[in-house]
Amino acid sequence: MSDSQNHKALAPRRHDEILRRLAADGSVGITELAAFFDVSRETIRRDMKFLAERGQLDLVHGGATLFEATEPALTLRSQENAGGKASIGRAAAALVEDGMVVFLDSGTTTLAVAHALTGKQNLTICTTSLTIALHMCRQPHVRVHMLGGEIDPSEEAAVGIDALDAISRFRIDVAFLGAGALSPDGEITDFTRNGAEQRSRMAATAARAYFVLDSSKFGRLTPLRIQRFELAAGIIVDAPPPAAMVEALERKGPKVIVGE
Amino acid sequence: MSDSQNHKALAPRRHDEILRRLAADGSVGITELAAFFDVSRETIRRDMKFLAERGQLDLVHGGATLFEATEPALTLRSQENAGGKASIGRAAAALVEDGMVVFLDSGTTTLAVAHALTGKQNLTICTTSLTIALHMCRQPHVRVHMLGGEIDPSEEAAVGIDALDAISRFRIDVAFLGAGALSPDGEITDFTRNGAEQRSRMAATAARAYFVLDSSKFGRLTPLRIQRFELAAGIIVDAPPPAAMVEALERKGPKVIVGE
DNA sequence: GCCGCATGCCACATATTGCAACATCTGCTT
DNA sequence: AAGCAGATGTTGCAATATGTGGCATGCGGC
């Protein structure tokens, strides 16, 4: 406020401060900012409109919030594209026979696989996901092994060195793994170092490994390549990916299985 | 958590906070939220109605609960003697300071302890219980380690050799352990071999260990004595056990703490 | 002087909120 | 089982806050 009458570029100053407050608090109010800058509310509204058009914030009644502020909670994510996930689940379940040892990765798509496994007899389930463990241990004729470790709150699953360590003790018949994306050149990639490492090991360890990917993940780019993903038996999807991706992937090894 | 005071929160901010609390606690109360945001209860009701129409929560009398696409986890309110367990939880939480490493055994009474720990800062929670891990990993400022192993469906918790093995890797400040019974002659006993062994190790390993026992377990007889239970710092109960039991127990070492 | 632009002011439309009155529900006592 | 007290849900309405568009003003640059 000491810099009052510098008439040059007042608007950018306000824009900066608005974005700064937004980053700090998650939301800002119009009246509050108008008082702070000692300008009319219309002016702040025009500032916000300008910033909103550039995608830097979301307008809401009374102010603005961070653009794409919060990742939806896990319970909500599982409801997105529920139909597609269910079809992936059914296709995955068809690959499982009574008595097998099955690894289920964390993620909402693998949770759909878990649901689709209802009715199989005598399975042994191995998982890092708290939600999957809880669900499967309530099923009859299923033995569940929870791989321990530090819990990642955003996944509600075990990650880290303990989980990596535990994986190597098991002999897995079939593994269903999540992933961050199927890249345009037919590689399977992930968001985090730990996740990529864990999935890499499973792909190499399990007798057969499948990545489950819903169609929202086609062509996206995430930072980490999952090493040795080409050892996987296939990927299971809810809709056919672009032909170029299919060709690039299958040339490396994994087959594409389209649910339903 | 730091926000809320100076200005009334924008509607989306309230929505976020409502969903956040819902994910963390499983349910939220209207009056409680109205006080937190300093708005009328009608406003909160309108917020909840909006969220309910979008399928993000379930309205119930007095508040809202998680939208249940799947079966409900075993919740506190569905259990008997909820009041007694809550008082045990409060007494246990009073023994926990910010920053501690806390072990929580499986069981509904220890789940009550977990609920009572809400608000502590910087805890590290170590548990074998899927439900407790899921609940605690939704709390801010809490790190959760899940001890892996085979899942016992009736406990919804890890048991067996892997869990036993994992216990020894941790340095625990305070452990809260369940048990099957407090026998008439002041011994703490259990139902299963695995459970007794696990609790025995924890009692010996943790800097301080407490058994949490609601009054329905006084004077019962279960088959397995928990070895070295007398190394525990105490037992936490919701009502005073018969004087003879208290005397017999305290002569061996553990103190009796009555909640509330 | 004239133009462009940011700003403020006004009038009116819309949205949000709180209040009050009344209907229900819940838990507890009798 | 009945009934009561307190808490909670519902609804209509009024007050206030906010959004929108038009227009005037002032300032700096040409």
In whole numbers, what is the pLDDT of chain B averaged over residues? 86
Q: Which nucleotides of C are covered by protein (CB under 7 A)?
A: 6-10, 15-20, 25-26
Nucleotide nearest to B31 (CA to C1'): D8
Q: Indicate if CB(A10) is under 7 A from strand C.
A: yes
A134, A145, A158 ranked by CB distance to B150: nearest: A145
Task: Tell me if B234 sits within 8 A of B88, measured CB to CB.
Answer: no
CA distances A110 to B68, B117, B130, Å, are 18, 31, 18
Measure in Å the smallest separation between the Cα of A248 and chain B Cα atoms. Answer: 37
B222-245 mean pLDDT: 91
Residue A28 has what pLDDT? 93
Q: Indicate if CB(B65) is under 7 A from strand D.
A: no
Task: Tell me if A245 sits within 8 A of A219, measured CB to CB.
Answer: yes
- Give dist(CA B254, CA B226) in Å, integer: 13
Q: Is B137 close to A149, i.e. CB distance below 8 A? A: no
Closest-CA residue in chain B for A169?
B162
Q: Is B237 exposed, middle or buried (0-12, 13-18, 19+ CB in 10 A)?
A: buried
Residue B2 has what pLDDT? 37
- Give dist(CA A213, CA A147) in Å, integer: 22
Question: How many inter-chain contacts (A to B, CB under 8 Å) are there?
Answer: 116
| B221: helix, strand or coil | coil
pLDDT tens for B5-34 read 445 678 989 998 998 888 778 889 999 999
Measure in Å the smallest separation between the Cα of A66 and chain B Cα atoms. Answer: 10
Q: Is B150 close to A144, i.e. CB distance below 8 A? A: yes
Residue B78 has what pLDDT? 43
pLDDT band at B215 (very low <50, low <70, confident <90, very high): confident
Residue A260 structure tokens: 């339903």
Q: Is the pLDDT of residue B1 over 50?
A: no
Q: Indicate if CB(B50) is under 7 A from strand C.
A: no
Determine the residue among B138, B143, B144 to mutate to test chain A binding: the one whose Cβ has the most chain A Cβ atoms within 10 Å: B144
Q: Which of A's residues 173-232 have CB atoms within 7 A of nucleic strand C?
A: none
B9, B130, B153 ranked by CB distance to A130: nearest: B130
Task: Tell me if B76 sits within 8 A of B110, measured CB to CB.
Answer: no
Residue A78 has what pLDDT? 62
Q: Write the DSSP string, B94-119.
A: TT--TT-EEEE-SSHHHHHHHHHTTT
A61, A78, A149 ranked by CB distance to B146: nearest: A149
Q: Is B10 close to A65, i.e. CB distance below 8 A? A: yes
Closest-CA residue in chain A for B124?
A150
Q: Is the model's pTM score more than 0.85? A: no
Q: Indicate if CB(A46) is under 7 A from strand D.
A: no
Q: Is A149 close to B153, i.e. CB distance below 8 A? A: no
By a Cβ cutoff of 8 Å, what residues of chain A touch chain B?
25-27, 29, 32, 58, 60-63, 65, 69-70, 73-76, 78-79, 130-131, 133-135, 137-138, 143-153, 156, 158, 162-163, 166
Nucleotide nearest to A63 (CA to C1'): D18
pLDDT tens for B110-134 read 988 998 887 788 999 999 999 999 9
pLDDT tens for B161-174 read 777 888 888 899 99
Residues in chain A: 260
Distance from residue A151's CA to nucleotide D26's C1', rounded to whole Å? 61
Give pairs for B146-150: CB < 8 Å, separation 24+: B146/A130, B146/A146, B146/A148, B146/A149, B146/A150, B146/A151, B146/A158, B147/A148, B148/A145, B148/A146, B148/A147, B148/A148, B148/A149, B148/A158, B148/A162, B148/A163, B148/A166, B149/A145, B149/A146, B149/A148, B150/A143, B150/A144, B150/A145, B150/A146
Residue B76 has what pLDDT? 42
Q: Is A184 exposed, middle or buried (0-12, 13-18, 19+ CB in 10 A)?
A: middle
C1' of nucleotide D9: residue with nearest CA: B61
Residue A75 has what pLDDT? 56
Side chain identity at B206, as an amino acid letter? A
| A4: helix, strand or coil | coil
Ordered per-residue pLDDT tens for chain A, 260 residues: 333 334 446 788 899 999 999 888 889 999 999 999 999 999 999 999 988 887 788 899 999 988 753 445 565 566 667 778 889 999 999 999 999 999 999 988 999 999 999 889 999 999 999 999 998 998 889 999 999 999 998 889 998 777 788 888 889 999 999 999 898 888 999 988 888 999 999 999 999 999 999 887 888 778 899 999 999 999 999 999 999 989 999 999 999 999 88
Distance from residue A191's CA to nucleotide D5's C1', rounded to whole Å? 57
